[in-house]
Amino acid sequence: MKTDRRKSPRRAISRRAKIEFAGGLPSRDCLVTDISDGGVRIFVEGGNVPDRFVLWFSDGDDSARPRACSVIWRLGPEVGAQFTGNPDDETRAGAPAREPATV
């Protein structure tokens, strides 16, 4: 029997988001399919997701907010990622400065 090792409960959602890549590459659309305090499961069609990225998504209002993420697992177009801290840390690590994204 599998045990759930998450530190916080997850909730199923269906919310559009954008993945921002380092190095000025174009952002990519994705779908957040579940979320917890510690991370997300996203569905990304037709492309590779880097090990580290910034996810822009809305909590239900009109503004998007960034979350720095690190990939934990991959299964086809689905990716599980944990939140890794302040997205400004990603900028200092070489990613471009961000403007608010339209999600």
pLDDT tens by residue, 30-45: 999 999 999 999 999 9
**In the chain, where are the structural domains located?**
13-92
pLDDT score at 4:
59
Own/partner pairs, 93-101, CB within 8 angstroms, 24+ separation: 93/22, 94/22, 94/23, 95/20, 95/21, 95/22, 95/23, 95/54, 96/22, 96/23, 96/24, 98/20, 98/54, 98/56, 98/66, 100/63, 100/64, 101/18, 101/20, 101/27, 101/56, 101/64, 101/66
CATH class assigned to 13-92? mainly beta
Mean pLDDT of the chain: 81
Is 46 a residue whose pLDDT tops 70? yes
pLDDT score at 100:
40
User: What is the band of 89 on the pLDDT scale with cuts at 50, 70, 90?
Assistant: low
Please state the pTM of the whole predicted model: 0.73
